A = this chain, B = another copy of it.
Amino acid sequence: MSEITVIALDAMGGDNAPGEMVKGAVDALGREQDIKVYLLGKEDIVNAELQKYTYDKNRLEVVNTTEVIETAEPPVNAIRRKKDSSIVVGMKMVKEGKADAFVSAGSSGAILVGGQVIVGRIKGVERPPLASLIPTEKGVALLIDCGANVDARASHLVQFAKMGSIYMEHVIGIKSPKVGIVNIGAEEEKGNALVKETFPLLKEEKELNFIGSVEAREIPHGQADVIVTEAFSGNVILKLYEGVGAVLISKVKEGLMSTLRSKIGALLIKPALKSTLKSFDASEYGGAPLLGLNGLVVKTHGSSKAKEVSNTLIQCVTFKKQKINEKIRESIQSEQKSAE
């Protein structure tokens, strides 16, 4: 008998909650047998959505939570005060072993704080990074840290590289993933103080396939599989990816609509264009896990729809089956033994 992955899903978080969250959960149940989902939210609202679908009631249950943390709320306060919010209840289920993972499209701040405060870190992990899959010309790369720890130190970045490598190898299936550090030049002597301090440390790590500096220009070309950086530039990269993409695509559409000739052309190219641009769409790749916690916490896009939710739930199953947290624990603890 296969092991079941139990996931607490925040039905109240994100721009499209609860509709798309519920739809994503039902979809995941159809795709994957070894999964059980708890939908956390206001019972009556969630049940009203659920009535639209037929699904296996043994594998999908609603947990009533009466409070909602808003995106604008200061996260530390929100976590402390709203004990009956979907985020706090979901995190506690992970903490207490009632769920393997918590997935939410809600307040990033509350998810980051809750992950550290409620779920807690794996022993030895200094700072849990947020890791996001981003599309590249060759497929997909992991950007780590993309928003959890600003003003990080070199030792944190080394741990990010290790955790990111484990994730890419065992969840995404890239053998011996290439690790690069975001830098403003290709040479080792380039960079700011943090990168200069981190570079030789990464070079020393025999278990990593460290390929050196990666200039931001190379990231979309897929030069590295694991892209290590501190959270400020990581978040800038993640957001700019979306921004440049959105503006360019709207420019292309504007061009297509500009003349009669181009409008006719647009009709002809539409199907082909749609399928190539789909490969550059972040929602194909699921949410961003907060790595290094005693359990799994995943943040999906605030704008995520059912497909992203469903993909994220399936990734949680792989995360558990591949024993990612055990592997992270081993990797971080062997580091600490060798330091003793």
Contact = CB atoms under 8 A, between A and B. Distances in A.
A247 B151 contact: no
B221 A247 contact: yes
Contact of A275 (B192, B221, B240, B255): B255
A151 to B, nearest CB: 5
Interface residues of A, number: 62
Given A232-B184, A236-B236, A268 B262 contact: yes
B241 A215 contact: no
Nearest to A259: B272
Given A265-B268, A265-B269, A272-B262, A249 B248 contact: yes
Identical subunits present = 2
Nearest to A235: B184
A113 B331 CA distance: 43
A276 B236 CA distance: 26
Interface in A204-227: 215-221
Interface of A: 136-137, 147, 150-151, 182, 184, 191-193, 195, 215-221, 231-233, 235-252, 254-256, 258-259, 261-262, 264-277, 279-280
Given A240-B244, A262-B269, 5 more contacts: A195-B232, A245-B248, A248-B280, A254-B276, A265-B270
